[in-house]
Each structure stands twice: as C-alpha cells, then as structure tokens.
A and B are shown apart, each in its own frame.
Chain A
Amino acid sequence: MKLFYIIVLLLSINYEAKSQLDSTHISQNILYIEAGGIGGYGSLNYERIIPVKKILKIGVRIGLSTYNLTDYTTKFNPDIIIPIAITGLYGNNHKIVFGFGQTISNIVKANHSNWKIERKSNIHSNFTIGYRYQKERGGIMVSCNYTPIIEFYKSYRHWAGISIGYAF
C-alpha cells in the first residue's frame, strides 16, 4: 500500500517537474519485455517516466507475467505475476538504473492438506540496479539489470534480467 501512495505522489509532481525542464520533448512511455528480472522468467511491462531534473528521472513500472497458462489438470487457469517497481534513472542516453518494488504472485498449486487445486497470493520485494540505454526522445530501449528478490519477505534470491522495448 505504501508503494501505491508513493506512485500517486510521484505522478502528482510530474507536471510541476516537467515545466522546470529545458527539454521540449521527453518520451514518457515505454513498453518493453524483460527476460528474467522481477517478473520471474520474463514479463511484459509498461513504464511511465516522470522527469525530475534534466539528468534524473523516475520510472513507475507495472508488468505482467506467468509460468503456466493451464494448471496441472490441464484446465485454463493461469499463474499471474505482477511486478511493480519505482526506478531512478540517472543519465542522458546512457542511464544508471536503481529501484525497488513489490511483486504480486498468484500461483495455482496443490493444497497439501486436502490435495485440491488452489490459488495462493503472495507479495515479494524486488530490487533493481543496472544499466539502460534509452534516448530521451524515444526509440529503442535496452537494459541489463541485477534484480534480487526477497521471496515471501523471507529468502533472498540472486536474479537478473535483460530488457528490450520501445520508448514513445
């Protein structure tokens, strides 16, 4: 919930910040796919860029991922993984990326008490540090990140991801 308030706050300062920048046009939307990363094995993501200073921007990201579209009984019953994160982007075309967020997982599995199929929702913490190439005026975006995850708020997992997408 804290993350939600932070996102709302960041979006609300967006317009004020924009007016202070010299740049006449900054691409503020990015659609990208990430292999690995905070979505697990891979995810489809949307990111909104919020300019803070000329060299510093904030990205608010939400994604969607899955492991299986059907459950183990072969019925359509997809796992749902939603990575959400706030990232700081420092630099012009070549940027340093650093961020944190939460990943919501909704996984279909067997209940080990009654052996019936069930959906289990959990929240996990994610972190990002890495490199991104993205021109201010849009176009291709590529990035490479170290994305450790604290699963179930308990166990630390080393993880990484690479992304490619388009800024517009």
Chain B
Amino acid sequence: MKNRITLFFLLFIASSCQKEEFDILNLNNNQISALGHGGMGIGYTYPMNSFESILNCLNLGADGTEIDVQMTKDSVLVAFHDEYLENSTNFSGQIFNKKWNEISGAVYTDQPYTNYGLITLDEIFSNISNLTEYTFFLDCKNFNPDTSSAYLNTFNNALIKIIDKYNLENNTYIEFKRTDLIRSLKIIRPDLKIFVYKTFDLALELVNEFQLQGITISVDKISKDEVMKAHNNGTMVAVFNTHSKNRNIEAIEKNVDFIQSDKVKHLIKTLK
C-alpha cells in the first residue's frame, strides 16, 4: 500500500512538472511572442512602463514588451499609461500639457517606500543592449484632443525619429486607436508596422482600408474563430488583459501572434 501511495505521489509530481504542449498555428512563424505589458504588467512590484519593469521583463527572457507612449508639449515621448499623472505619480496634470523638464522629476507612487521615476522612450531604448533582438509594441496614448495636421505630424515625426534612431523599424509595432494618426503615419512612412486597437469588426475594416499589419484587442473580446478569420485575412493579432495564468493559456489556445501579458514569468515559462 505504501509503495502504491509513493508511486501515485511520484506520478502526480511528474505530471505536474510536465510542460503543456500547444499546437500553434498563426502568422508569426507559428510561434507566439511572449511580451510584457508595460514591462512586468499591472500589479507587479515595479510600476508599469518604469525602466525597472521593462528591463526586468526583457532580462527574464521575454521576446519584448509593450510600452505606453505619450508626448509632452515639447515633443518628448514619455512611457506612461494613465491620462493623468496624479493617478500613479506625485505630479498632476496631463502629459501633453507639460514640457518634459516640468515632469522629469515625477516618481511613481503605487507602493510605499519606493520612488521609481518617470522615463522617456529615448532613455529606455538607449539603455537596452541588443535592442533589435526584441519586439516592441508602442501603444500610443493620444489623450490630446488636438486633431490638427500639425499635431498629427508632430506626434508621428517624434515616433519616426526614435524608431529610425535605434533602427527599430523591423521589430517595432505601433498601436493606434485614432484613425487620423493611422492615416497621417501611412502617408509619411507607409513601411512602418501599425496595429489598430478597436472592436474586432471595426479593426478588421481599418486593417483592410489602411493595409495595416494587425489588430490589438483584449483577450476576452476575441474568439478563436475570430483570430482565425483575422489570420485568413493576413492580419496578425495581439492580445492584452492577460492578467492571470488562465488568461495566458486562453490567449495561447486562441493561436494569437503576440501576448502582452501581466503574468510575464508564467507566459515565458509556458511558451519557452
């Protein structure tokens, strides 16, 4: 009896350690890129989009990361998620109303006793070695209501400048919600890869209209069939809101091309 229990226990341990296998069929060479969501994701001890969070994600072995991007009044691209600085830093106001030197001292206030600082996109890229080996999704958070061509051009030119500076055109995807920015960038630099962030049907329409590379969507807002429909259309799919291990698995089983995960360690362990 004792031997049986031991055998059962050993089998249980062995089955727990066995790595789950997935049959992945997608447009990303039948592989899913494991990306971080603003680095280590929501709820991690490093704040999203902080230097520490992004570097930690890449050093753990992720294929890359999504980074939220906003532009200051003096055209500096800053890695920051929220519309208002006061939501997660010790400063207040909106980034597009501030110059970089007015907000460069901001620190995240998510948790006590730490003071991780706000950072520019340039500072991130200039301090990552082997930059071109990673995949970056630049999630453009355009809270500025300005729709003038001057603003659209300024924002897109700031993106182009940084992508060109670090030779990131092959491994960077730009995520837009706003159609005017997509249209503007397509005119200036049609070679850059753009993902659109909308509901599935609308996103697919825009992909076809502007010849975009893909769609970005919450994992719970897209089905496996819709992923297949997008793939049949030649459209890649990136998902976010994978804030649990189950959501990571759900995204993998849907055969998406990119997962921007809040559970980075689990995703890396599962996919690699």
Contacts and interface: CB of A to CB of B under 8 A. Distances in A.
Contacts of B55: 72-73, 110
A74 B46 CA distance: 13
Given A72-B55, A73-B55, A155-B90, A149 B117 contact: no
Contacts of B240: none
B111 A74 contact: no
B169 interface: no
B231 to A, nearest CB: 34
A103 B60 contact: no
B45 A110 contact: no
A40 interface: yes
B114 interface: yes
A152 B90 CA distance: 13
Contacts of A103: 113
A109 B52 contact: yes
Interface string A74-95: 1000010100000000000000
A53 B46 CA distance: 45
A143 to B, nearest CB: 19
Nearest to B127: A115
A151 interface: yes
Contact of B113 (A72, A105, A112): A105
A81 B52 contact: no
B142 to A, nearest CB: 26
Interface centre among B52, B117, B123 (most CB of A within 10 A): B52
A73 B59 contact: yes
Interface residues of B, number: 21
Given A72-B46, A72-B52, A124 B59 contact: no
B112 A124 contact: yes
A157 B112 contact: yes
B56 A74 contact: yes
Interface centre among B46, B114, B127 (most CB of A within 10 A): B114
Given A72-B59, A74-B60, A41 B111 contact: yes
B134 interface: no
Interface in B73-130: 90, 109, 111-117, 119, 123, 127
Interface in A98-142: 103, 105, 107, 109-110, 112, 115, 120, 122, 124
A68 interface: yes
The B interface, classified by DSSP as helix, strand, loop or mixed, is loop
A110 B59 CA distance: 14
B176 interface: no
Contacts, number: 59
Interface in B24-79: 45-46, 51-53, 55-56, 59-60
A159 interface: yes
A114 to B, nearest CB: 10
B111 A40 contact: yes
B45 A68 contact: yes
Contact of B114 (A73, A107, A112): A107
Given A68-B45, A74-B59, A74-B60, A40 B112 contact: yes
Contacts of B46: 68, 72
Nearest to A70: B56
A99 B54 CA distance: 38
A157 B90 CA distance: 11
A67 interface: yes
A79 B119 CA distance: 21
A1 to B, nearest CB: 20
Contacts of A72: 46, 51-53, 55-56, 59
5 contacts: A41-B45, A67-B114, A68-B46, A73-B59, A105-B114
Q: What 9 A-B pairs come out closest when comparing CB atoms?
A: A72-B56, A105-B113, A72-B52, A67-B45, A115-B127, A72-B55, A110-B51, A74-B59, A40-B112
Given A72-B52, A112-B51, A112-B119, 8 more contacts: A67-B45, A67-B114, A72-B56, A74-B59, A109-B115, A112-B123, A115-B123, A124-B113
